[in-house]
Structure 1
Amino acid sequence: MLRIKGTIGDWPVDLTVEMDDADWARLAQNLPVNVAAPTAAAGATPVASAPVDQLWLAAQDLLRRSGGTEGPQLMSELEALAGSAGAAKGLLVRLRHSPKVKIEVREGVQVFNWVEE
């Protein structure tokens, strides 16, 4: 789910858009990609996919390897991975809404935790 709040001129806007994985993939196709795709694991059958899907997989792997990361630190790491703040925000939003991620608030800071289902 994506929530958009703001104004258009003097009119307030509060819009909620429900998106499934296919919608996120189509949206992500417009994000800039500045990273090399991760290599396939030994013995794995490579699957052809769009470069942005590889970026999404890399973002998930980043959080999975750390186990848990504070929001500002994760945003910084995603920006380095994606090559821009805009792309990093998109990945952060996708992580926030992923069923594999649980968010806790500790001392006013969001902590993103990887939860394997």
Structure 2
Amino acid sequence: MLRIRGTVGDVPVDLTVEMDDSDWAKLGIQLGVQSAEEKPDSATAAKPPTSRNDAVWDIAQDLLRKAGHMSGPDLLGQLEGLAGSTAAGKRLMVRMRHSSSVRVESHGDAPEYHWVE
């Protein structure tokens, strides 16, 4: 399930989209994430197959990498939509905060997340 929250103009939007494994694979292709079936045999032998949580984590990292930096509230909103719930979005946010690829800076009330790799 994918949850998208935000606004269109002044209209609040809270959209939930049901997605099966093939839908997630298509989304991964659009975002440049390679599925386990498409990887060379040596890569699949070295790494166990990725779970849905790992795929969501990869997409979350790619989101921040492409943006370069995001404010905490903006990033949380994106992660909530990606993960499908507020709790799952917050878990991704904590994981992001502790990632060696991310630098967090304090800017007043909201932290700023920067991709450093």
- TM-score normalised according to structure 2 size: 0.63
Deviation at 1:108, TM superposition (A): 2.9
Deviations 1:35-77 (A, max 9, x none): 7141328xx6265311110011011011101000000010000
Separation in 2, partners of 1:107, 1:89? 20
Are residues 1:113 and 2:114 paired?
yes
Q: Deviating runs (4+, > 3 A) in structure 1?
A: none
Separation in 1, partners of 2:70, 2:90? 15
- TM-score normalised according to structure 1 size: 0.63
Deviation at 1:109, TM superposition (A): 1.7
Q: Which has the higher contact order (CA 8 A, sep 6+)?
A: 2
Partner SS for 1:78? helix
Residue 36 of structure 1 is matched in structure 2 by 24
Are residues 1:74 and 2:75 paired?
yes
Residue type matched to 2:83 in 1?
A: A
Aligned length: 81
Taking only the aligned residue pairs, the percentage that are identical comes to 41
Residue type matched to 1:87 in 2?
A: A
Separation in 1, partners of 2:98, 2:77? 19
* Structure 2 unaligned spans of 5+: 1-18
- Alignment RMSD (CA, Å): 2.0
Partner SS for 1:110? strand
Q: Whose helix proportion is higher, 1 or 2? A: 2
